[in-house]
Structure 1
Amino acid sequence: FMALVLQYMPLGSLEGCLHSGAHHLNLFQRLDIRVDVACALEYLHCDLKSRNILLDESKTALH
């Protein structure tokens, strides 16, 4: 049995945030998410897509 345990990310995935229309991401938030994702690439698995990027309540990507 293998499991991955992450902290709770109330906004869910970046994909959900972008496509739901419920949360607007301004230019600076989008740039911050890009930086967070780039920093996480050191240990991120090969399946990089918006569905696998989780956002916290301040719209910061988990890294």
Structure 2
Amino acid sequence: MREVTALGAAYLAGLAVGYWQNLDELQEKAVIEREFRPGIETTERNYRYSGWKKAVKRAMAWEDHDK
């Protein structure tokens, strides 16, 4: 399954209305098709993630020229 946001929302809704009794019942039905494992070392991943966070912070500080 490529995208699971909608599935998660459906699970939460089902739990809220009592369709499923608890998380254990949901886990019994779960099927893992494929598991993602990072292909880079933790140090490299953290370095890249840090750079990404800096870029996002800078982008959020851009001026809004439409105002």
TM-score under structure 1 normalisation?
A: 0.29
> RCO higher in 1 or 2 (8 Å CA, sep ≥ 6)?
1
TM-score under structure 2 normalisation?
A: 0.28
- Of Structure 1 and Structure 2, the greater helix share is in 2
